[in-house]
């Protein structure tokens, strides 16, 4: 494992009392009481269900072992050779955040030499770039789960690696990785990809067993800051690697009548916060997600009183210190109950929710409920929970915005909230729908509900892959699997026609994840079930085996560490690191 140097942190001060780096040991005492009358019953249920699931796994172990051995034998045979060498590929990656960087790094390890990255902003960073990160944002998870593969944030200080950092320091870490890996030079900055062109006649479907040279059927139309457009390419594959680049603002009637300002969290910078405080403006925060919590916390921590918070149903979260725990034996057991809850999500949202509440993993900022469609892998640390609890009920409004009026926002229960600013913490869109697709000279519409082959490739536009849909794990490490899938698609498995890919994708149980909003920003979906079903589909396709999946989730939730999920779909290789770091 390569260990990055521990450098001086970003040259910026703490924000609203939140230090640049919050170590695990510096997290405040959890504010919740463990003496609720219902807690023993849920705890008993958690132990009982964990025992039952463990017994079932033991009973099914012979069958699981047999299927795993069969799958690995098939993998050794079917994935034993490249029909196209990765070194002959040309690949474009859209997005300069940590997913794009991790994807490029892995592609280079696998032998791809000709890679071009495109970033619309002036520097790397993605979510953590100043144009996208909002005021006082912290990385929500522990740094060990948001680190690059084999490149920990701070290997010399486990306490810091178990902690969290402000957005400015997260961008520093991203830049450090890019510099050490020599990736920054591969990017074109201030360059927006506006279209992808696909010439299906140039796509080669090779007879089985034959080695062919790729014909690179994709080209990009890019735009610079002055609006000048040009073409780039050709490429064998274009990988979209941007998760949250576009604001998602609900369409509420009366916007033209409203005399104040409307901002999404992406547009809420320190300058806007300072202006609100200086002018003593009235603020309404809309939304119940992690971003909305962050917005509300900005004002609560500043002691600012002239704000209201509107949400329909309080979102559910996992407790930071429970999911990113201290690796004690009891916490490891609780981590196994989390794995059991994930498996139960296939059967019942209610049972899975009871597991999380019973183990002490779940938390919310409002009335306890069990609607886990209001959970999007959000995490709240003890300090966030403590500060959210200080927001009075008078400032919280469980309602839907109905319409704007000149002086504020009217709710569906008839109340009117005066506002100079309406701030939306309502999630983001990936921005993939902003890219025009052109197939054989004709516009091509990307169906938001179309199933992607292996949650990655668009079957009817097979030069375009969506890395944000292959959400195999957390943080940038998931993009390792995107790179593996790209090489498997282009160089290992038998090349399929568009119809063959479409038919194979139709066999999946899922895969029609909304390609516009992405997995984490679909407010009506049971995200946990979608995530587990995706892994079952990958197992059914022979890309992952059950043992590797189970080890992966146990590693994260019981052992509090993370490595990339093993796909075992590529020929054995020995990457020569010095070849890629020159």
What is the model's pLDDT at position 76?
Answer: 81
Using one digit for the tens of pLDDT, what is the confidence trace for 429-453?
888 888 999 999 999 988 777 889 9
Query: Residue 247: beta bridge partners?
Result: 428
Rg (CA), the chain: 24
Q: CA–CA distance from 221 to each of 172, 230, 313 (Å)?
A: 30, 6, 42
User: Residue 433: what pLDDT?
Assistant: 86
Segments in the chain below pLDDT 70: 1-16, 34-39, 204-215, 512-524, 572-582
Residue 398 CA, chain-centre distance (Å), reads 28
Task: Tokens 């679909």: give the residue.
Answer: 522
Quick one: pLDDT at residue 37? 55
Report the C-alpha dihedral over residues 461, 466, 472, 477, rounded to 10 degrees: 140
- The predicted pLDDT at position 167 comes to 93
Per-residue pLDDT reduced to its tens digit, 263-282: 999 999 999 999 999 999 99
Q: What's the rounded Cα separation, in Å, for the pair 383 and 17?
A: 11
Which pLDDT does position 516 carry in this prediction? 42
465 - beta bridge partners?
239, 457
pLDDT per position as a tens digit, 282-293: 999 999 999 999
Phi, psi (5° rounding) for residue 372?
A: -85, 10
Max alpha carbon distance in the chain (Å)? 71
| Residues in CB range of 146: below 8 A, 6 or more apart | 98, 139, 153, 170, 474, 475, 476
CB-based burial, 389-399: b 16+ in 10 Å, e otherwise: eebeeebbbbb
- E strand residue ranges, 102-184: 114-118, 164-165
Q: What is the pLDDT of residue 7?
A: 41
pLDDT at 36: 61
> Closest by alpha carbon to 531, among 374, 375, 315, 342?
342
User: Rounded to whole angstroms, what are the CA distances from 395 to 252, 320, 383, 392, 409?
Assistant: 21, 25, 20, 6, 14
Joined tokens for residue 366: 């409002």
Q: Helices then strands (H, E): number in the chain?
A: 16, 25
Domains delineated in the chain = 83-245+430-559 (3.50.50.60), 247-318+364-428 (3.50.50.60)
Is the pTM of the predicted complex or chain greater than 0.75?
Answer: yes
For the chain, give the percent of residues with pLDDT over 70.
Answer: 90
């Amino acid at each position: 494992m390569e260990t990055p140097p521990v450098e001086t942190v970003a040259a910026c001060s703490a924000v609203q009392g939140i230090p640049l780096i919050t170590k695990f040991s510096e997290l405040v005492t959890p504010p919740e009481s463990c003496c609720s009358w219902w807690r023993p019953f849920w705890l008993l249920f958690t132990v009982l269900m964990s025992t039952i699931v463990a017994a079932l796994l033991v009973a099914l172990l012979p069958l699981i072992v047999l299927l795993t051995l069969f799958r690995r034998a098939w993998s050794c045979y079917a994935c034993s050779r490249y029909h196209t060498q990765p070194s002959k590929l040309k690949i474009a990656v859209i997005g300069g955040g940590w997913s794009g960087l991790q994807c490029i790094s892995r592609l280079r390890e696998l032998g791809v030499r000709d890679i071009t990255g495109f970033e619309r902003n002036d520097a790397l960073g993605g979510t953590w770039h100043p144009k996208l990160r909002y005021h006082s944002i912290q990385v929500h998870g522990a740094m060990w789960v948001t680190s690059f593969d084999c490149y920990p944030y701070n290997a010399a200080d486990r306490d810091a690696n178990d902690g969290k950092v402000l957005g400015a320091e997260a961008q520093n870490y991203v830049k450090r990785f890019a510099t050490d890996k020599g990736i920054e030079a591969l990017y074109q900055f201030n360059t927006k990809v506006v279209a992808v062109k696909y010439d299906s006649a140039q796509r080669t479907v090779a007879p089985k067993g034959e080695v062919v040279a790729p014909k690179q059927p994709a080209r990009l139309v890019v735009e610079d800051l002055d609006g000048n457009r040009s073409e780039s390419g050709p490429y064998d594959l274009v990988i979209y690697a941007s998760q949250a680049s576009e604001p998602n603002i609900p369409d509420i009637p009366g916007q033209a009548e409203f005399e104040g300002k409307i901002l999404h969290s992406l547009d809420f910078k320190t300058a806007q916060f300072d202006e609100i405080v200086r002018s003593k403006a009235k603020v309404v925060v809309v939304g119940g997600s992690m971003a909305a919590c962050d917005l509300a916390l900005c004002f609560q921590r500043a002691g600012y009183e002239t704000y209201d918070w509107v949400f329909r149903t309080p979102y559910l979260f996992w407790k930071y210190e429970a999911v990113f725990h201290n690796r004690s034996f009891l916490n490891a057991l609780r981590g196994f109950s989390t794995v059991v809850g994930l498996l139960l999500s296939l059967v019942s949202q209610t049972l899975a929710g009871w597991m999380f509440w019973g183990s002490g993993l779940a938390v919310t900022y409002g009335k306890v409920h069990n609607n886990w469609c209001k959970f999007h892998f959000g995490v709240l640390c003890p300090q966030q929970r403590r500060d959210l609890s200080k927001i009075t009920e008078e400032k919280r409004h469980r309602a839907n915005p109905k319409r704007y009026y000149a002086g504020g926002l009217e709710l569906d229960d008839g109340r009117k909230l005066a506002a100079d600013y309406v701030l939306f913490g309502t999630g983001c869109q990936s921005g993939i729908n902003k890219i025009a697709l052109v197939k054989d000279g004709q516009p091509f519409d990307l169906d938001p509900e179309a199933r992607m082959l292996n949650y990655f490739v668009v079957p009817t536009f097979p030069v375009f892959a969506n890395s944000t849909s292959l959400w195999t794990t957390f943080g940038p490490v998931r993009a390792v699997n995107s790179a593996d899938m790209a090489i498997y698609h282009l160089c290992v498995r038998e090349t399929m026609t568009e119809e063959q890919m479409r038919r194979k994708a139709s066999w999946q149980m899922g895969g029609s994840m909304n390609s516009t909003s992405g997995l984490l920003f679909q407010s009506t979906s049971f995200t946990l079930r979608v995530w587990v079903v995706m892994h079952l589909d990958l197992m059914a396709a022979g890309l992952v085996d059950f043992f590797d999946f189970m080890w992966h989730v146990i590693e994260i939730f019981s052992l509090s560490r993370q490595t990339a999920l093993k796909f075992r779909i590529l020929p054995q290789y020995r990457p020569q690191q010095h070849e890629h770091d020159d």
